[in-house]
Amino acid sequence: MTPVQAEKRLVELRAQIARDDELYYKKAKPEISDFEYDANKRELEDLEKQFPQFAAPDSPSRVIGDDRVQGFKEVAHRQKMLSLDNTYNEAELRGFHARLVRLIGTPNLTYTVEPKIDGLAVSVTYEDGRFVRAVTRGKGDRGDDVTANVSTIKTLPHRLHGVAPKVIEIRGEIYFTAVEFQRINAERAAAGEDLYANPRNFAAGTVKLLDSTEVARRKLEIVLYSLGFCEPAVVESQTDLQKKLKAWGLPVVEKYWTVDGIDEAWAAIGELDRLRHDFAYGTDGAVVKLNDFAQQRDAGTTDKAPRWAIAYKFKPDTARTRLLGITIQVGKTGILSPVAELSPVVLAGSTIARATLHNEDEIRRKDIRIGDLVEIEKAGEVIPAVLQSFPDERPRGAQEFDLFAAVGGKCPVCGGKIARLEVAAEGAEGVAWKCQNYDCAAQRAGRLGFFCSRRALAIDGVGGVVAAKLVELNHVQDPPDLYHVTLETLATLNLGTTEEPRIFGEKNATKVVVAREAARELPLEKWLYALSVPDVGETTARELGRRHRTFAELASSPLLHAVLKKAELVAQREWEAPASRRNPAKSDEDKARRKELCARLEAEIAALDAGPLAGVPADIGPAVAGSTLEFFASAPGQRLLAKLRALRIDPRGTVPTAGVFTGKTLVLTGTLPRLKREEAEQKILAAGGKVSGSVSKKTSYVLAGDDAGSKLEKAKELGVRVIDEAEFLRLLK
Ligand code: IVH
């Protein structure tokens, strides 16, 4: 490779890796496999070694991937959180050992071999034995404070057992079990929502939710394995640490090996590879660590990683098969997603006939064509993905895939117009094609399934297949039409075929009818979320629901108009600023005039902030305001509102009135004897209070029911007042 070629490739690789880092660490939605990512990184490192003249201090090879996102407080780690060097090959692992033998000056080195857990790295701090903080790795020296979310993890003790050091930072990994991951993904599938690709992304996405009540509904787990800062230093080796972690009552790895020399380490890695599929967490390798802490100190670290440890990564399971075709699915928002139809092949124990292709850009980037021999990968619980094609073995005449042409320029479901748009929504990053027809059957069915999903109106039983059938038979156009479907129609609904009927049945139908009636009483926030208003997710719906009394009020919301007005004023102020880069002042006179104008704009903005926008969270920004107002003014929005009126469904906002809980924060835990969780939350909000997912010193009351767990403990520890349902109801009176 010539220096010119090398420089060009370096620029490409750095850009690609930076993009993949962003997707992996910040968005928890990687588009390539870890294996491909590691290969790019390795290529970058090798090139930088070979052509040191093109070194860059900010190259992704030198810095730790940054997971920080907006909305969290940043906290410094007492000791930097490093990453690990990794390898996929035995020779390099032996090279690691040889280097250490030289560095430490003895051939007799003891290592531990541990599973490498595929989750999200966190550091938890205990002071005087009490859990005080959890922070993500961030960029190594400082990360996001995710204490509230990590506090929802039941297996993480709030107090260490036995004697604990004054201050200790312990590093570990947050993960989801495969069972919990599948449970939630099944729920999401039933609701027509985007699926998470794998438990790791899901865990990372969950830890970065701003709403800990939602986090508490998902069962996160944690495992701890490494030491950060510790004062006084009470741990002498990794084996010692493992024992102490356990004695302190912390969740630890299911198995680790203490071995002498690299041959034994290699044997342990083999054994781990055989056992790891039965572990509760996903594993993608083994971590080999020098056992003795004094030796670790001698070996030292680089800026990025310790010299005393290495990750040996297992290659993911892959297989080769033919790509028979690419079909296009249409989701609830109308986005067209390509799916690989494969010649069935057995991979990681299951038969795979379909795999995700993400989007058209990716198909192009990987040069995947129908008829190609392709390599597919399935790592852990990941939805199978197409890794690469083999152009050398391509059948003659195979054409580049063109999504627009493949669907004949129209939606494959409804035949409607499609348009190309930039999407930054969940799941589909980049550019996508979207069906423009709000009344497309796929969109209708997607919206109906979503409307009935747990987190929306919880009308159980109306998931993917049932929703699609109701739409197909024209029983439902818009979700509220579900109220007109009779019990009999539901009971006799055939979900199968004429030859092989599968009848929905009386029992299921009755459940639906009961649930839909109960849903009438749900608050505005739930209904708003359930109606799939563009840009309005759960949190936004909640915030809007707390600030509007009815749909009618929301449709012409003065608050949302104020949000838009402010955005306009801010843009104008930026444009008119005398030093504006795009529109600099032309003369002193112009400057003076604009200065005055800006002061006036500033005052108007301040008046909005102090008036209608006081206390309005960032969730309700111009994008949300614009799309909400636009939606309710549009024909589909008006049609929905008319249908709700005709059904006499008029859900109420939870506008906090001053009440007994004004200014108070409550935490719910355990099962209450009479009230459902939702109902209790409702009452708290209606009485002016706030609901939080975790207990802190600022909590006013913990409302505890049966089987209350760590939150109750925490409340007692912090001296927070605990009340039961009876007392709660008394207070409300
Ligand atoms: S030790 C200073 N042990 O893998 C080194 N890390 O790819 C501290 N990881 O940043 C890390 N399992 O987030 C260690 N048993 C284990 C691990 C482990 C998973 C993570 C950790 C690390 C990343 C590197």
Mutate to test the pocket of ligand 1, among 287, 296, 308 (most ligand atoms within 8 A of CB): 287
**For ligand 1, atom 15: residue with the closest CA:** 116
> Using an 8 Å Cβ cutoff, are 669 and 712 in contact?
yes
pLDDT computed for residue 184 by the predictor: 85
Single out the residue in 388, 407, 434 at which a domain terminates. Answer: 434
| Ligand 1 pocket, CB under 6 A | 82-84, 114, 116-117, 121, 171, 173, 225-226, 287, 306, 309, 311
How far apart CA 387 and CA 12 sit, in angstroms, is 19
Q: Which of 41, 116, 366, 378 is catalytic?
A: 116
Q: What is the CATH number of the domain that holds 359?
A: 2.40.50.140
Q: What is the DSSP string of 260-288?
A: EHHHHHHHHHHHHHHHGGGSSS-EEEEEE
Ligand 1: atom nearest CA of 121 is 13
H or E segment at 326? strand 317-330
Residue whose C-alpha is closest to residue 683's, from 453, 521, 479, 532: 521
Q: Report how far ligand 1's centroid is from the alpha carbon of 85 (Å).
A: 10
- pLDDT of 168 > 90? The answer is yes
pLDDT computed for residue 428 by the predictor: 44
Single out the residue in 594, 616, 646 at which a domain terminates. Answer: 646
Q: Per the structure block, which two tokens stand in for 59?
A: 């190259």
Question: Mean per-residue pLDDT for 394-422?
Answer: 92
pLDDT in tens, 17-39: 988 888 888 877 787 778 888 88
Q: Of 63-72, 560-569, 666-675, give the range with the top mean pLDDT.
A: 560-569
Look up residue 258 and give its DSSP letter. Answer: E
Question: Mean per-residue pLDDT for 513-524?
Answer: 95
Residue whose C-alpha is closest to residue 547's, from 656, 679, 660, 651: 656
Mutate to test the pocket of ligand 1, among 78, 226, 307 (most ligand atoms within 8 A of CB): 226
pLDDT in tens, 186-221: 777 766 666 777 788 889 989 988 888 888 888 999
Query: Do 159 and 224 fall within a single domain?
Result: yes
Question: Mean per-residue pLDDT for 461-479?
Answer: 93
pLDDT in tens, 283-336: 989 999 999 999 999 999 988 899 999 999 998 778 899 999 999 999 888 999
> Using an 8 Å Cβ cutoff, are 503 and 493 in contact?
yes
Query: Do 507 and 531 fall within a single domain?
Result: no
Question: Does residue 171 lie within any of the structural domains?
Answer: yes
Q: Report how far ligand 1's centroid is from the alpha carbon of 17 (Å).
A: 20
Q: Report how far ligand 1's centroid is from the alpha carbon of 23 (Å).
A: 20
Mean pLDDT over the full length of the chain = 90
**For ligand 1, atom 22: residue with the closest CA:** 83
pLDDT in tens, 661-696: 888 889 999 889 888 887 888 788 778 788 787 888
Single out the residue in 498, 519, 540 at which a domain terminates. Answer: 519
pLDDT computed for residue 426 by the predictor: 40
How far apart CA 172 and CA 363 sit, in angstroms, is 36
Any idea which of 30-34, 379-383, 502-506, 530-534 has the lowest mean pLDDT? Answer: 379-383
H or E segment at 516? helix 506-519
Domain housing 479: 438-519
Ligand 1: atom nearest CA of 84 is 24
Neighbours of 417 (CB within 10 A): 12
Question: Does residue 394 lie within any of the structural domains?
Answer: yes
How far apart CA 691 and CA 216 sit, in angstroms, is 12
Ligand 1: atom nearest CA of 118 is 19
If one counts the domains in the chain, the total is: 6
Rounded to the nearest 5°, which phi and psi values hold at 134?
A: -135, 130
Q: Report how far ligand 1's centroid is from the alpha carbon of 84 (Å).
A: 6
SS3 457: coil
**Orientation angle between helical segments 3-21 and 34-50, nearest 10 degrees:** 140
Any idea which of 319-323, 351-355, 589-593 has the lowest mean pLDDT? Answer: 351-355
Query: Do 604 and 507 fall within a single domain?
Result: no
Query: Do 329 and 241 fall within a single domain?
Result: no
> Using an 8 Å Cβ cutoff, are 376 and 319 in contact?
yes
pLDDT computed for residue 212 by the predictor: 84
Question: Does residue 64 lie within any of the structural domains?
Answer: no
pLDDT computed for residue 190 by the predictor: 67
Mutate to test the pocket of ligand 1, among 67, 173, 283 (most ligand atoms within 8 A of CB): 173
Query: Do 492 and 567 fall within a single domain?
Result: no
Q: What is the CATH number of the domain that holds 26?
A: 1.10.287.610
Question: Does residue 59 lie within any of the structural domains?
Answer: no
Residue whose C-alpha is closest to residue 191's, from 572, 559, 405, 449: 449
SS3 238: helix
> Using an 8 Å Cβ cutoff, are 549 and 653 in contact?
yes
Residue recorded with tokens 């190309």: 420
Query: Do 34 and 155 fall within a single domain?
Result: no
Residue whose C-alpha is closest to residue 480's, from 451, 504, 455: 451
Residue recorded with tokens 């038979």: 473
Query: Do 408 and 486 fall within a single domain?
Result: no
Query: Do 508 and 423 fall within a single domain?
Result: no
Question: Does residue 226 lie within any of the structural domains?
Answer: yes
Look up residue 306 and give its DSSP letter. Answer: B
**For ligand 1, atom 13: residue with the closest CA:** 121
Q: Report how far ligand 1's centroid is from the alpha carbon of 83 (Å).
A: 7
How far apart CA 324 and CA 516 sit, in angstroms, is 43
Instruction: Spell 483-504 as b/e; 16+ CB within 10 A means b.
Output: bebeeeebbebeeeeeeeeeeb
116 is known as an active-site residue? yes
Rounded to the nearest 5°, which phi and psi values hold at 610?
A: -85, -20
How far apart CA 607 and CA 588 sit, in angstroms, is 29
Question: Mean per-residue pLDDT for 39-66?
Answer: 88
Neighbours of 234 (CB within 10 A): 15
Query: Do 376 and 401 fall within a single domain?
Result: yes
Question: Mean per-residue pLDDT for 511-520?
Answer: 95
Q: What is the CATH number of the domain that holds 447?
A: 1.10.150.20
Looking at the chain, the whole-number percentage of residues with pLDDT higher than 90 is 65
> Using an 8 Å Cβ cutoff, are 510 and 489 in contact?
no
SS3 373: strand
Question: Does residue 576 lie within any of the structural domains?
Answer: yes
pLDDT in tens, 620-654: 999 999 999 999 999 999 999 999 999 999 999 98
- pLDDT of 75 > 80? The answer is yes
pLDDT computed for residue 111 by the predictor: 98
> Using an 8 Å Cβ cutoff, are 122 and 46 in contact?
no
Strand partners, 498: none
How far apart CA 482 and CA 512 sit, in angstroms, is 10
Question: Does residue 384 lie within any of the structural domains?
Answer: yes
pLDDT computed for residue 425 by the predictor: 45
pLDDT computed for residue 1 by the predictor: 85
Question: Does residue 449 lie within any of the structural domains?
Answer: yes
pLDDT computed for residue 8 by the predictor: 92
Ligand 1: atom nearest CA of 305 is 2
Neighbours of 383 (CB within 10 A): 14
**For ligand 1, atom 10: residue with the closest CA:** 83
Query: Do 678 and 639 fall within a single domain?
Result: no
3-state DSSP: the chain helix, strand, coil percent, rounded to 5?
40, 20, 40
**For ligand 1, atom 1: residue with the closest CA:** 226
Look up residue 484 and give its DSSP letter. Answer: G
Query: Do 278 and 329 fall within a single domain?
Result: no
Left if phi > 0, otherwise alpha if psi is -120 to 50, otherwise beta: which for 380? left
Query: Do 451 and 374 fall within a single domain?
Result: no
